[in-house]
Structure 1
Amino acid sequence: MTDHELRDDIVFAAEDDLGSSPRERKAWKLLIVDDEEDVHSITRMVLEGFEFEGARLEFLSAFSADEGRQALIENPDIAVMLLDVVMETPHAGLDLARQVREELGNALVRIILRTGQPGQAPERQVIINYDINDYKSKAELTAQKLFTAVTTGIRSYRDLRAIDSSRQGLEDIIAASVDLFQADSLELFARGVLTQMTSLLHLEDSSMYLGDASGFAARDRLDDFVIIAGTGDFLSLESRLASEVLDAQEMDLIRRAASTDQCFFSQTSYAGCFGMTSGARHVLFLRVLRELTPLEQDLVQIFAANVTVAFENLQLNQEIAQTHREVIFTLGEVVENRALAGGMHVHRVAEMAWLLGRHAGLPADDCDLLRLAMPMHDVGKVAIPDSVLLKAGPLDEVERRIIEQHPRLGFDILNRSGNHIMQTAARIALEHQEAWDGSGYPKGLAGEDIHIFSRIARVVDVLDSLLSARVYKDAWTVTDALAHLHDQRGRMFDPVLIDTLLAHKDEFLALREDIIQQSRDIKMPLSEKKP
């Protein structure tokens, strides 16, 4: 991409339309720690009207080391601290400097040590032993030198904060790349790259990445966008509509960008639209408090274009994961339909297994894995003859031995795959007929020798089966089904899991009924559905 090609789609919005005055930037916080009131007054007077990068100073005062420490705790974003050495003790200022770095862990605030008694704290000794950034004798500290010291301190603080923000952004990106199958991977990745860009360009840290209906969220209006990720003022606003958090001028800029597939800069904001190969549109929005140089504008363009490619790759991974889930549920439904299980059994047990896992204290990732693997617990039944599987009456001894083969058959089918989900499903298929007291099959495992996933599977599978009609039985009542679970506590079932389910029985029953109702809504003819 040549410089000319890159700059062709950058448009500067008319000031009359989009506003010409920049937003007021947050002030730089300056903490004065000194036990002499005159020092505070003189410092404020000398630095009155001070500005750096369009932001003024916000003065904070403390008259002792203890007050200074409290001010730093309450204001971790203090940029510069003017610190006296001798206050309540001859070395109170030095003690505070050490506390700031070691106890409070604040490595960003710039510390300018001011002393009227240099002999109490020799400069060389202080520089060697303490993490301070400047040393000034009050006798030599003219107005110009104070102005220079504060300016240098704020500039250093700004750069260190940018580096720290950049590090946090990288951590977000790395965290997002660990497991792209997590539901929030795209949002986490987006927030990371936004933080990277705004910190590297020393921009105001409010930015957001917007998407339309391309799999992230549904739009309420055709000319609106959904927030995928945000920083600064837009942090934690994911899934909100842009029009709910932006003013009319900012929305106008975004809509112009989206309608023309161009990038627009005003004096207060930037919006760039990037079309995806899927036909979806993404918009990068920044609030800018200073005019960007041509080079910075080009960097924004390049960065945003690369992020779009990354988003497409991440979205593709999520689509693959979704396809994987659909295949798993389809396999489960094939078995379910053949066994005339009554419909949606695999969906119900998958959701109830997830819920029981959460109430049992399993990590969220394990619960998600259990939900994915659960639909295939009975896959071995595909190899069971219809004469046995669909028999309406009681099974004889030979038929019972045949049906009891389905756990091993399911294991053999699923264990051929090296996929983590399939391996988990294989274990559940093998063990889901084992009993807590060792009376189950096929291996006669007992207690905690049965994997927790398989113990959960046994509980929810039996509950849903009891409550469902089969070719060989009618549906049980809720009262009878729950009584059976309690009766088999410590025999067929893990007693802790039974206690957990019964303690939350209303939640499980409501979840099951919701899925049944969803199934009815799907099957109901359109003419019979309520408007």
Structure 2
Amino acid sequence: MTHNQDDLLIFADEDPAGPDERELATETWKLLIVDDEQEVHQLTKLVLSDFVFDDKPLEFLSAYTEAEAKRIIEANPDTAIILLDVVMDQDDSGLRIAKFIRDELKFRQVRIILRTGQPGQAPERLVITDYDINDYKEKTELTTQKLFTTIMAALRSYRDIMVIENNKIGLEKIIKSSAALFELQSLKKFASGVLTQLTSILNLHKNALHCNSFAVAKGQEEIYVLAATGDFASDVEKRIDEIVPAAVLKLIEQSFQEKRSYFFEDHFVSYFQSKTGMENVIYFDGSKKLSELDRYLIEIYCSNVSVAFENIYLNEEVENTQKEIIFTLGEIAETRSKETGYHVKRVAEYSKLLALRYGLPEEEAELIRLASSMHDVGKVAIPDAILNKPGKLTPEEFEVIKSHTSIGFSMLNHSNRSIINAAAIIANQHHEKYNGQGYPNRLAGENIHIYGRITAIADVFDALGSDRVYKKAWPLDDILDLFRRERGEHFDPKLVDIFFDCLPDLLKIRDKYSDTKLF
């Protein structure tokens, strides 16, 4: 089909930039142009030829027909953006392609920008609503600068979505592994999951293939590799000297000999020894300068791995391992959002105390103590720019923050173990309000699980009394006034009464676990 000249992209009063003459990086953002006009492809590539985002250039893919577009997108599931024309082989070719991408291929991450020279064929409100289109532009709108801005905004969105997906995948591996740690064969799966999540926590996704890390154990007679990533991921069954480079092996052996850890600018060796004398080393090389916060996260992970390994070696009860893992993951979630050091510990102890005073048995109160540490685990999947924003969040940013409840639930709800089940409930419901005005499901009254109602009070009490990136700690009198006002509104009225009855004990917990270090 041929369009008239008015349908072509217009670059009004602007000089397109020349082609980028530097070598392309090995990693790119894939941009698929779908249009039956050759000139549209040429002009788009010309204008965006020197476009770079996060040190990665664009890789252009071109399709001129509906069938060709479907073949290309199916073969390239990592496509970031599709610039999609409406009218091609058929009057609704673009809409058919969009439906194919979303409904048949189930590709939700790719950003689809509809470009049309005939807006009457695809009214904007209709296609945005019915076809899961991310942006809509008439071709006459897309000057050089506006095209640049549109692509930049779409890539930022795609990048943040992929960060969430990568963090979610890594954390789900940890959770699934923790539920099966009593099986000896899960040891290597667990170690691999820990290394994968460490890569995510340190924001090394785009260089993941180059992150060479090892989880190493020392047996009675030899050192052996439990898990590896990067270039050596598929070789873990070999002898250690066949897998680990000589210089790295020397550093690992030195760590075992001197029983100490080493941190360098862009890699580390962390040594840890269990109470029973079992020794392990984590070596990680991510080619990224490690900050103080990175080092703290690394130490948490190494401690977590140490506990898990020790329990498996000794064939102890799986619940002991799960407790350590869950609490550590709760700490990691809070550390990513730069919360104060003992927030997770305080919330856990407050929750157990409230549960006991509510009348729950000791065993169930202990279950809540452990599971409540995971209340904000979904924050691991929230982009740092939003999670740690010092100023007021926009409505869109607040919606992203709110999603941590549903994300946490989706990470935890596939286990039949009591601790994980309780953690899933708490992650999903700790922001529900007694009056039905909370999120994510606007539950009200006793439709909110008692675990969620208890953790809500513990979390708010501690959050208000702690410094955060966006606020200073409230005075105690102001906190207590808020709880009085929110009795029966935000909080279960019976639990608020219990809260005030046991306030002296809550304050003892707060003082016992006061923060000594801020991030």
Q: Determine which structure has more spread, i.e. the larger CA radius of gyration.
A: 1
